[in-house]
Structure 1
Amino acid sequence: MNHSTTKDGGSTTGPVKGDTPSCNRMEWTKKDEEVKGIVAKLDQMVPNVHFTDIMTTTSAQKSEATLLNNKYFYCVGDPLLVQLDLYNHLGKRKEYGGDFLQARIISSSLNAGASGSITDYRNGTYLVNFTLFWPGNVKVSLMLIHPSEGVSALWAARKKGYGKIAFVGTFLNGTSTVSSDCGYNITVKERCDYLDERDQEAFYCVKPNNVSCDALIRLKTYNEKVTYLTDLEHSLLNRSNIGCNIPQSFGTFRVIACKGKKATVAEGKCGAGMSYPSPSGFVWKNEWYPVFCRVLSFRNLKRIKSCLKRKIIYLLGDSTLRQWMWYITDKIQSFQYFDLHGTGKQKNMMALDMKRNSQIQWKKHSHPFVTVLEYMTADHSYIAREIDNVAGDGDTVVAVSLGHHFRPFPIELFIRRMINIRGAIQRLLVRSPDTKVIIKAENTREIDIDQERFGDFHGYAQYLALKDIFRDLKVCFIDAWDMAIAYGTNLVHPPDHVVGSQIDMFLSYIC
């Protein structure tokens, strides 16, 4: 990454291109077009509607759920079809779609759950298709997370700027330090540009007087008192208007194992480049069962140790991958943490198992890393650059996950980052086709957080973009989004039993 000082405002959302080789300009143009294309696809899914009265927005309580294939009992493997007809608070039928819904089936006594596939007919009617994966008594949960008007407002607000998060940089100045504003929207004349021109990545700081731009040593963030929503739009984001249950006249369904019928669950090994349906699996007895391959259970310590023997594992991204590292090293206590120096909770980590010649390391992704805790800037870089430094072989594993830290910013930032990571993975697989690459989707999170900054609608848009970007690449995919819905966990850091299921998938791919 190039560090430089600029004396003119320049672009604030990407590097200054200047005189560059024509091949770079062609790559930039191609990448820009792909970014625009993915945003356009998302635009088509999001309604562009405005409202002046909250009573005209979608009401979960006024809406209706109708069972389309009512039976006395159902067989394992049968579909369960539910039609949703949505109405506003005045009791008038909605004439357009775009509501952000969540649907799941549950058997609490069996610790079982699965998401439903939702089809939006764009006229206020939705079809929810569940697959009945297990025998027992099954209930349906239908939730309106955001009305279409709220979705429209959130999407429009996300496009309006980078101002919701403020970055504070600490620069070393001799024996003392000085703080300065940093971020994506720094327009002062004396500015430090931190540019990756190849990948069109950029970050900026206000240059402190008589201090080198190279002296940036730490960063932290805080939430700015900035909103791109009106007071009326904010009223849709009150907790009482988020995640409301849609009434249903039907109750519990009886599902039995019928002769000659079973759920569609594949028996083949989990591998790269597979097709990932929706839903991608189900939870039963608190364990995850994908429908496209046979996951192995790695709750047995001997099996985990055997799987990880001689493995070099790079976990690159956010703290949901750091949970993987904690989970594995807690299970296999022969892993010992190696002191990489650095300070604070966000420092990079490495653990070694000398007996089995195994290594695991977690590295945080580069800007934007949103945290009130200061972290070192010298020990992190863009994930694409990290992957470019991986030699790779049949015992090397690269796992990538990021998303939560990008939710407060225009989605182009996330899309461009993932395209750059895809390019690095393609280069890795050319020089080392046996290297295992795992992409973990982000998961849902708490429903009572600041929805404009961190709400799940933003995460869902990124989830769709992620699947689009990697759809043709021979990588392994862990659908943490679908898993979170099936488990019914809405925590940015899922509990151990959910992380354990993610690890089972991870180890099934690499072993």
Structure 2
Amino acid sequence: MMPNVTSGYNNTTSAKYSKTTILNHKDSYCVGEHLMVRLDMYDHLGKRKEYGGDFLRARIYSLDLKAGASGSIKDFRNGTYLVNFTLFWEGNVRASILLIHPSEGVSALWAARKKGYGKIGFTGKFLNGTSEVTTECGFNLTRNAELCEYLDERDQEAFYCLKPKHVPCDAFVSLQSYNKPISYLTTLEQSLLKRFKTGIEIPQLFGAIQVVQCKGNKTMTSKECCIGVSSPVPSGFVWQNQWHPAFCNMPRFDTLEQINTCLKGKMIYFMGDSTLRQWMEALTKRVTTLEYLDIYPKEKLQKLLAVDLARHIWIQSKKHGHPYVGTHGYTVKDHSYVARDIDNVAGDRDTTIVICLGQHFRPFPIQLFIRRVVNIRRAVQRLLLRSPDMRVIIKGENIREMEVDQERFGDIQGYAQSVALKEVFRDLNVAFIDAWDITVAYNTKKVHPLNHVVWEEVNMFLSYICCNAKANPM
């Protein structure tokens, strides 16, 4: 039975007193072998933990080689964990295992997430002739007042606003989110989370390990990065600051000619959040012949469109539907859910849809996220039935800053969504770009990673859409 944090800070998991042990210790390891590390967790009184549930992050790295990779963690639910690192490169390799939240903090955050939608508020703007009227909006308005209901009956996606007096519900024009001064955590729980604000390193006695090339060992594959190729965990590694998938041979799109060859004749839809909009911005910076059509001058966060008429390239980036959380307001007149946007795509083998959502769902009960991705899955199934050559790519969430409000936006919320996303799309003929794994490997800790990290995600995307492509550069 896992006690909650109210049983006392001293009974919570301590990184300082926890122990790491290499189970397969050797003087040196071959590239491609595994390093197996056992974790035994203890509390602040030095007593061994008898239950699991800690939120951990494991990574190996070599600073001089600009190399990194995530490790997979198995929780035995008795205070013991097994961390499995794949040794992808040659050299001196160090391991990092962070305790981000003790199990008691995880339990508190999970319980708080389930308690409701009140952490984020929305202000809706309605136009009454030439004057503006604002009102409260959200997913779960319980006041005894007349409501404007914006319902997608097929997918059972609903959003509400308190109806302004003498203004029709159709006059709803824009929306702005804000953080409400609400927490579902107790004072003691909040205090515990502050102690783990940036994660705490679990001490290691073994230091760096030596990895060498061994005769006959094979770590890379010649298989192309194509739709339908399964992605393992870890899905790859960083070396010399470049991403190398472990399950396919990713070509490099480093020159303008290579990118243009890939994109020629393509129609691409980015549907999701700002981490996907970063992909479009990265592409338009490198491909100077892609020009933005400034048809949404005041709504750049909502929709972007860029074209290269000579090469017949068309790229659109559009935000996903409610909830969209941020410092800027946005119009709802062109609002639609991703599932509906997918239904409006005709599609062929030169058309690609990329979907990414998660960051904006973190402050809300996870049922909202799961319902949304299940609806998107159904839309993808319909799309692939009418256009089986269509290319669909799912981008996972990035890890983000540890200093954010953990109850609203912490990575523990994102990790649960990342696991759910993989399960929902597991058996469909789509590609999955594990941005969680990539950003852990790079140790970015930024919701919007630096440009070179974003480009490695884009390079993976180009590999998928141009697998077996025979286009000629112009």
Runs of 4+ in 1 over 3 A off after TM superposition: 46-51, 239-242
Q: Which residue of 2 aligns with 1:408?
A: 363
Once the two structures are superposed, residues 292-313 of structure 1 have per-residue CA deviations (whole angstroms, 9 ceiling, x without a partner) of: 1111111121110110001000
Q: Which residue of 1 aligns with 2:317?
A: 362
Choose which of 134, 137, 160 in structure 2 pairs with 1:179: 134
Between the aligned partners of 2:394 and 2:401, the Cα distance in structure 1 is 22
Once the two structures are superposed, residues 434-465 of structure 1 have per-residue CA deviations (whole angstroms, 9 ceiling, x without a partner) of: 11000000110000000000000000000000
Q: Which residue of 2 aligns with 1:124?
A: 79
Q: Which residue of 1 aligns with 2:176?
A: 220
Displacement of 1:47 in angstroms is 5.8
Displacement of 1:274 in angstroms is 2.4
Q: Report the residue type matching 2:366 in the other structure.
A: I
Which aligned pairs between 1:32-431 and structure 2 lie closer than 5 A? 49-188=4-143, 189-238=145-194, 240=196, 242-263=198-219, 265-341=220-296, 343-431=298-386
Alignment: residue pair count = 465
Which SS does the other structure have where 2:376 is aligned? helix
Between the aligned partners of 2:325 and 2:287, the Cα distance in structure 1 is 30
Between the aligned partners of 2:2 and 2:363, the Cα distance in structure 1 is 20
Between the aligned partners of 1:150 and 1:300, the Cα distance in structure 2 is 47
Which SS does the other structure have where 1:236 is aligned? helix
Contact (CA 8 Å) 1:81, 1:129: kept in 2 or not?
Answer: yes
Given the two structures, how large is their TM-score scaled by the length of structure 1? 0.89
Instruction: Decide which moves more: 188-197 or 163-172.
Output: 188-197
Which SS does the other structure have where 1:51 is aligned? helix
Q: Report the residue type matching 2:88 in the other structure.
A: F
Once the two structures are superposed, residues 488-509 of structure 1 have per-residue CA deviations (whole angstroms, 9 ceiling, x without a partner) of: 1110001111111111110100
Identity of aligned residues (%): 60
Q: Report the residue type matching 2:409 in the other structure.
A: F
Which SS does the other structure have where 2:254 is aligned? coil
Between the aligned partners of 1:178 and 1:424, the Cα distance in structure 2 is 35
Q: 1:344 to 1:393 in 2, by over 3 A?
A: closer
Between the aligned partners of 2:328 and 2:195, the Cα distance in structure 1 is 27
Displacement of 1:344 in angstroms is 4.3
Contact (CA 8 Å) 1:363, 1:380: kept in 2 or not?
Answer: no
Q: 1:48 to 1:200 in 2, by over 3 A?
A: farther
Displacement of 1:467 in angstroms is 0.6
Cα RMSD (Å)? 1.2
Displacement of 1:372 in angstroms is 2.1
Q: Report the residue type matching 2:403 in the other structure.
A: D
Q: Report the residue type matching 1:227 in the other structure.
A: S
Gaps of 5+ in 2: 467-474
Which SS does the other structure have where 1:211 is aligned? coil
Displacement of 1:132 in angstroms is 0.6
Q: Report the residue type matching 1:391 in the other structure.
A: A
Q: Report the residue type matching 1:129 in the other structure.
A: N
Gaps of 5+ in 1: 1-45
Given the two structures, how large is their TM-score scaled by the length of structure 2? 0.96
Between the aligned partners of 1:428 and 1:166, the Cα distance in structure 2 is 34
Q: Report the residue type matching 1:440 in the other structure.
A: K
Q: Report the residue type matching 2:146 in the other structure.
A: E
Displacement of 1:341 in angstroms is 2.6
Between the aligned partners of 1:361 and 1:379, the Cα distance in structure 2 is 14
Choose which of 402, 409, 414 in structure 2 pairs with 1:454: 409
